[in-house]
């Protein structure tokens, strides 16, 4: 399970993250999201995307299972080629719905991954994530970190949902 909380980013938090967390890398990510041919993912709260960064990944996300966070099942597999993956999905009837472009700075802090994201058309955000099957324990970890950084008002919507809302 991917236990994750997200907040709008303020300058002072950015500085705090750089002080206490260990910087891993900066990546440019292009995420193309698809809707299912016969199951409306905007209603079932599922997601399927092809991500292009240094490598290419195919990712399925299950419905969010928690009201306070973005916690959901996530299955991800590396895939050899962005264009061919997209072509196969289109042949299967999957419909591209939106693309999310971002520059992501990744940090590690204990078991947590902290992502400082600059998302095209949406702005700057911080995501705190722990992968674990013990959701309650992982929630404890991510909320503790958020408190230490003084982060309030978590956003439970995904970037895809935020972008689609903005478009409407």
Catalytic residues: 33
* Least Å from the CB of residue 93 to a second copy: 7
CB 13 to a second copy: min, Å: 34
- Positions touching a second copy (CB under 8 A) are 36-39, 46, 48, 58, 60, 62, 75-81, 84-85, 87-88, 91-93
Please say which residue, 20 or 42, places its beta carbon nearer to a second copy.
Answer: 42
Smallest gap from residue 89 Cβ to a second copy (A): 9
CB atoms within 10 A of CB 112: 21
Question: Mind giving me the DSSP string for 97-151?
Answer: EEEEEEEEEEEEETTEEEEEEEETTTEEEEEEEEE-S-HHHHHHHHHHHHHHTT-
Cα distance between residue 92 and residue 50, in whole Å: 14
Residue 78 C-beta-side C-alpha neighbours within 13 Å: 4
> In 3D, which of 123, 114, 118, 124 has the Cα closest to residue 104?
118
Report, in Å, the least distance between residue 149 CB and a second copy. 33
């Amino acid at each position: 399970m991917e236990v994750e909380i997200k907040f709008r980013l303020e300058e002072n938090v950015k500085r705090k993250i750089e002080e206490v967390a260990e910087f891993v890398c900066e990546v440019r990510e292009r995420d193309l999201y698809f809707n299912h041919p016969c199951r409306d993912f905007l209603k079932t709260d599922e997601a399927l995307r092809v991500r292009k960064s240094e490598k290419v990944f195919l990712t399925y996300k299950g419905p969010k299972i928690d009201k306070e966070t973005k916690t959901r099942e996530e299955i991800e597999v590396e895939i050899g080629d962005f264009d061919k993956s997209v072509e196969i999905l289109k042949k299967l009837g999957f419909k591209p719905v939106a693309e999310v472009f971002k520059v992501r700075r990744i940090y590690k802090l204990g078991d947590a991954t902290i992502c400082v994201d600059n998302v095209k058309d949406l702005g700057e955000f911080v995501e705190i994530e722990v992968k674990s099957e013990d959701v309650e324990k992982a929630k404890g970890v991510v909320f503790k970190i958020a408190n230490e950084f003084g982060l309030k008002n978590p956003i439970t919507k995904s970037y895809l949902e935020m972008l689609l809302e903005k478009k409407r």
